[in-house]
Amino acid sequence: MVSQKEFTDAAFNQLLGEGKLMASRCKKCGALHLPPKPICVNCQEGNMEWTILKGKGKLAAFTTIAVGLPRMIQEGYGRDNPYCSGIVELEEGPRISARILDVDARNPQKLKVGMPLVVDFLERGEGENKRTLLAFKPV
Amino acid sequence: MVSQKEFTDAAFNQLLGEGKLMASRCKKCGALHLPPKPICVNCQEGNMEWTILKGKGKLAAFTTIAVGLPRMIQEGYGRDNPYCSGIVELEEGPRISARILDVDARNPQKLKVGMPLVVDFLERGEGENKRTLLAFKPV
Amino acid sequence: MYVKKRRLGRGVAIVGAGVSKFGSFSDKTSRDLFIEAFNELKQSVDRGIDPKDIEALYLGNHIGEYCEGQSLMAPIIAGYLGMIPKPATRVENACVSSGVALREGIIAIASGLYDIVLVGGVEKMTTLSTEGVTDALGSALDALYETPAGFTFPGIYAAMATTYMDKYGAKEEHFMKVAIKNHNNGALNPKAQFNTTIKDIMNGRIAKAKQKGQPIPTWVDEIEFLKDPKANPVVAWPMKLFDCSPITDGASCLLLVAEEVAKSFTDTPVYVIGTGQGSDYPLYEREDMTTILAAKFAAQEAYAMAGVKPEDIQIAEVHDCFTIAELVGIEDIGFFPSGGAIKAIEEGLTARDGAKPINTSGGLKSKGHPVGATGTAQAAEIWLQMRGQAGARQVPGKDISLALTHNVGGSGPTCAIHIYERR
Amino acid sequence: MYVKKRRLGRGVAIVGAGVSKFGSFSDKTSRDLFIEAFNELKQSVDRGIDPKDIEALYLGNHIGEYCEGQSLMAPIIAGYLGMIPKPATRVENACVSSGVALREGIIAIASGLYDIVLVGGVEKMTTLSTEGVTDALGSALDALYETPAGFTFPGIYAAMATTYMDKYGAKEEHFMKVAIKNHNNGALNPKAQFNTTIKDIMNGRIAKAKQKGQPIPTWVDEIEFLKDPKANPVVAWPMKLFDCSPITDGASCLLLVAEEVAKSFTDTPVYVIGTGQGSDYPLYEREDMTTILAAKFAAQEAYAMAGVKPEDIQIAEVHDCFTIAELVGIEDIGFFPSGGAIKAIEEGLTARDGAKPINTSGGLKSKGHPVGATGTAQAAEIWLQMRGQAGARQVPGKDISLALTHNVGGSGPTCAIHIYERR
Ligand SMILES: [Zn+2]
Ligand SMILES: [Zn+2]
């Protein structure tokens, strides 16, 4: 019962694991919060509901990273094999940080702010450490 | 030339590696600083000299640790094999924290504040990570 | 020790307080915990508070880097509370992080810069193993000269305990009695991590042994239970499991306002009339290892500012991260003479119905010790006691008009003390 | 955006400043670095200061836990300075840690609590590998939603750069010109980590290639050098090696006193007449990703308190942790309109001899960026420039009586801005 979950990072991640990108919506003013927030930043109300997002959006900002985080180096990325991280603006309005897949990270000049993207879910880790990461890829 | 070293942790440790326990002494007021300090805490003067300590003292405070630091667990210590850490008051006056060796850490009641100790130097690590740790043991 | 009599430019009052449940919550982050405390705070402000009116946040947090890989936590928390673009600052002074955040909030209001400030603290510790927490809290020791000697955080307090035992003749039983007292109080605090007496823990173990058909322990009282190394194993002798505060997730916060506007929030503000903070060397460099100079200095400053004496204070929350710390603490704040804490705990003077009730909340020992949240959680307990809202653990037979909190960081290199008044 | 006009209870002045050499020093700890800065500070106070008269320390430090396994650093530093039992507090707001420490010192004096306060910062970064530093600084991002996306600290500024390029048409050359300008200044700063121009670095490489009999590079100017991926590899596109501030060990500190006692320390105090601090969401949540609301809010607060306008300010130290940050920064403080930084850097307006000299110290880019020390190091540069003591890099033809520092934490969730006056 998605609608009964608390509006926490744990719930958001569990939903990602189910292939759902969900935001919290303020029942009073309608503001969407992604990642979910339990108190509305707009009107300070604490009456929220879960809402599912279509997972369609456009690239709002990006970078291709050659000197990566340790976890990314462990995935095989590095100076000769950069990866792309971006901020995606969803059709519903909110923006979120995500891995950007299926792009040529060695030629960042070819990537454009505004390019259309669709959500993807990236599984990492095993067993207890299994986690679903939010990702997007070109349409 | 010990007397030309800066009064730093690096110098103190290098001296430990040479088997020397050394303090900084304020040339103005004579106060001893162990570990070495470059500015005298007593009179705010910055004119110090190195002085070697005899390495004799007594136990001023102690504990036997069953739930140890990760580095001590790596050395093989643990709940069934506690180690002793203590604070030693040297004959020259200053006190310092040190490993306490050659005592029965399973029977801490037998250890006494005031018991006489003598300095020892404990080598840990290899190559670049080699480090000499300050230790004391019963006379 | 010369203590300058200091005056603040303006008076400050607490008009709201909130504390999350303390415990182990695998699905809650620091943000979730702080929001839980903040929601309670909002409810506690008698005439209400619009979060948009809050002008600044001071947030205490100690080991967020180790536990959640998160530094720069204050603006993130501010973002969840809807406080952007107001200033948000993290204070890190180990276990006195939010005690100092409280002090900074008071100072900021006194400066004239703000009228309404949120102060608080949070710690999310249970993401780490016991070994990981030992490592993380160990960072509050002197990393160059204490940790190479193998000292842990319990270990350094244990060393303090051995000098205290040597100098004043304290026995392990005295430490145990502190734990028993604080669990007795924590059993009455629904927010406490260990919301139960040590006697009930003991009886529970006996019942469980019976149920499982195991050999039935023969403990006749709590002291015997605590002397059994199977029930109460050594962590760092003479500190055993029941001498140590637990690993805790939790958050707490206070709403501070300038004295002149306090009555627009509530008819019964709690005024902060004294604040003191001090520093000390690592344990090995202290002249006297049975006392904490940082606490003595902070106490003298706070008393001087408040214009009151230790004998005027009716109750106190005292930093009992380890049982030895409470004994040293009640001496450092002048409630008892040096070594006098032994007699005080023997005679029950610090019990909830004693002459000087200490740690009615259950203390860090029983309530739990989310390190960065502890300072403002202590003040939140005083807030409840002074307003007569502490429920089952309300101090009996006393109308509390003067109280004190004593919050220590690390092994004592830092301490913040506050004195509270209900007029 | 409504900005309340705030007033401090008392005025505050800087009467001394010290900065350690910035660079990579394998045998120095945080303590050694801070003492080096403090020794210079003591020399800088015209009529002298007895450290025993200092009443409190506010210390900025960001990643001491990662670099030295040390939290609770403030009282340790206080101990080395002979300040025990005076209060010592660590402020952690990432790269604005000492900028906020400065603000807290000002607030504390304004409150009436202290007359003489030491503020400063320190970072000892070179104990870690580049990978380790990337991990440690990454803790200042949103650990729940930015680091899982792979963002690093350079990466998040790089993302900001792509939106800035998209919105205003900035090219990679504009970022490069910021680096060239700041190295030109840093070449004149003997404390700078990179005490050399990019042209000299380029010519050095050419000379080295000749000497070694290697193919001689054909760069005709610094821009060509910086466009060569072998000379200037991508870190996080479009940010390349020469767009990024280095990994630095260093410390800095300031002596703050109440305005009414300033003249007893020096005839030429530098008065702090405006302080502002703001917060913002992580980058992904900001309405406009080409500006930092925390900085705009802090600037407006500081200008309102000081009663001056951007056009009145003669020089500024601006937080150029990455070259894009300086462009955004000089817009956020109102020196140039949105997108106007492009033209400013093209036309040399921010050069040392330009209309609005920015980062005469060399900035974080060339001087180095020991993160916790940067805020008070910026103020120390202003102190020198305002007193005409900046040596070879003294701004020509200007008698500096109004200046500003802009110090940002993380990707912009926090910012502190100060305005200084010489009367
Ligand atoms: Zn709403
Ligand atoms: Zn001296």
Question: Minimum-distance ligand to the CA of B42?
Answer: 2
Q: Tell me how far the alpha carbon of residue C290 lies from the centroid of ligand 2, in angstroms.
A: 26
Query: Can you tell me the distance from the alpha carbon of C150 to that of B85, in angstroms, rounded to the nearest whole number?
Result: 6
Nearest CA in chain D to B40: D82
Give the minimum alpha-carbon distance from B46 to chain D in angstroms, rounded to a whole number: 9
Asked if residue A129 lies in contact with residue D258, where contact means CB atoms within 8 angstroms, the answer is no
Q: Tell me how far the alpha carbon of residue A13 lies from the centroid of ligand 1, in angstroms.
A: 23
| D321 annotated active-site | no
> In chain D, what residues touch C277 (CB-CB under 8 Å)?
56, 87, 89
Q: Which DSSP symbol is given to D376?
A: H
In the chain, the amino acid numbered D70 is: Q
Does C174 have pLDDT greater than 60? yes
Q: Mean pLDDT, to the nearest integer, of C399-407?
A: 97
Q: What is the pLDDT of residue C3?
A: 53
Q: Tell me how far the alpha carbon of residue B38 lies from the centroid of ligand 2, in angstroms.
A: 10
Asked if residue C97 lies in contact with residue C137, where contact means CB atoms within 8 angstroms, the answer is no
> In chain B, what residues touch C154 (CB-CB under 8 Å)?
65, 67
Query: Can you tell me the distance from the alpha carbon of D370 to that of D121, in angstroms, rounded to the nearest whole number?
Result: 9
Tell me the pLDDT tens digit for each residue of C28-47: 999 999 999 999 999 999 99
Q: Mean pLDDT, to the nearest integer, of C99-109?
A: 98
Nearest to A9 among C29, C39, C51 (CB): C29
Write a three-state SS string for chain C.
CCCCCCCCCCCEEEEEEEECCCECCCCCCHHHHHHHHHHHHHHHCCCCCCHHHCCEEEEECCCHHHHHCCCCHHHHHHHHCCCCCCCEEEEEECECHHHHHHHHHHHHHHCCCCCEEEEEEEEECCCCCHHHHHHHHHCCCCCCCCHHHCCCHHHHHHHHHHHHHHHHCCCHHHHHHHHHHHHHHHCCCCCCCCCCCHHHHHHHHHHHHHHHCCCCCCCCCHHHHHHCCCCCCEEEECEEHHHECCCCEEEEEEEEEEHHHHHHCCCCCEEEEEEEEEECCCHHHCCCCCCCHHHHHHHHHHHHHHCCCHHHCCEEEECCCEHHHHHHHHHHCCCCCCCCHHHHHHCCCCCCCCCCCECCCCHHHHHCCCHHHHHHHHHHHHHHHHCCCCHHHCCCCCCCCEEEEEEEECCCCEEEEEEEECC
Best probe of the D interface among A85, A95, A101, A137, by most D CBs < 10 A, is: A85
Q: Name the least confident of A121-135, C3-17, D194-208.
A: C3-17
Tell me the pLDDT tens digit for each residue of C305-335: 999 999 999 999 999 999 999 999 999 999 9
Q: What is the pLDDT of residue D5?
A: 60
Does D2 have pLDDT greater than 90? no
Give the minimum alpha-carbon distance from D78 to chain B in angstroms, rounded to a whole number: 10
Question: Minimum-distance ligand to the CA of A47?
Answer: 1
Nearest CA in chain B to C133: B69
> In chain A, what residues touch C81 (CB-CB under 8 Å)?
39
Averaged pLDDT score across all residues of chain D: 97
| D369 annotated active-site | yes
Active site residues of C: 95, 369
Q: Mean pLDDT, to the nearest integer, of C147-165?
A: 97
Averaged pLDDT score across all residues of chain B: 94
Tell me the pLDDT tens digit for each residue of C203-221: 999 999 999 999 999 999 9
Whether residue A35 and residue D233 make contact (CB cut-off 8 A), yes or no, is: no
Q: Tell me how far the alpha carbon of residue C287 lies from the centroid of ligand 1, in angstroms.
A: 57
**Sheet with B48-52, edge to edge strand ranges:** B32-33, B22-26, B48-52
Q: What is the pLDDT of residue B1?
A: 43
Share of chain D above pLDDT 70, in %: 99
Tell me the pLDDT tens digit for each residue of D141-157: 999 999 999 999 999 99
Give the minimum alpha-carbon distance from C16 to chain D in angstroms, rounded to a whole number: 23
Q: What is the pLDDT of residue B129?
A: 84
Nearest CA in chain D to C410: D72
Does D4 have pLDDT greater than 80? no
Does A90 have pLDDT greater than 60? yes
Whether residue D82 and residue B11 make contact (CB cut-off 8 A), yes or no, is: no
Q: Mean pLDDT, to the nearest integer, of C63-69?
A: 97
Task: Please report which confidence band the pLDDT of residue D3 belongs to, taking 50, 70 and 90 as the band edges.
Answer: low
**Cα distances (Å, whole numbers) of residue D223 to C97, D172, D174, D179, D243:** 48, 10, 10, 10, 12
> In chain A, what residues touch C77 (CB-CB under 8 Å)?
none
Does A1 have pLDDT greater than 50? no
**Sheet with A48-52, edge to edge strand ranges:** A32-33, A22-26, A48-52
Q: Mean pLDDT, to the nearest integer, of D78-100?
A: 97
Tell me the pLDDT tens digit for each residue of D255-298: 999 999 999 999 999 999 999 999 999 999 999 999 999 999 99
Query: Can you tell me the distance from the alpha carbon of D47 to that of C356, in angstroms, rounded to the nearest whole number?
Result: 50
- Among D62, D369, D406, D418, the active-site one is D369
Q: Tell me how far the alpha carbon of residue B39 lies from the centroid of ligand 2, in angstroms.
A: 8
Cis peptide before D154 (omega within 30 of 0): no
Q: Tell me how far the alpha carbon of residue A45 lies from the centroid of ligand 1, in angstroms.
A: 5
Give the three-class secondary structure for B48: strand
Instruction: State the complex-level ipTM.
Output: 0.97
Share of chain D above pLDDT 90, in %: 98
Query: Can you tell me the distance from the alpha carbon of B4 to that of A89, in angstroms, rounded to the nearest whole number?
Result: 61
Whether residue D279 and residue C139 make contact (CB cut-off 8 A), yes or no, is: no
Best probe of the A interface among C25, C30, C32, by most A CBs < 10 A, is: C32
Does B2 have pLDDT greater than 90? no
Q: Mean pLDDT, to the nearest integer, of D319-339?
A: 98
Q: Mean pLDDT, to the nearest integer, of C18-28?
A: 97
Tell me the pLDDT tens digit for each residue of B12-47: 999 999 999 999 999 999 999 999 999 999 898 889
Q: Mean pLDDT, to the nearest integer, of C252-270?
A: 97
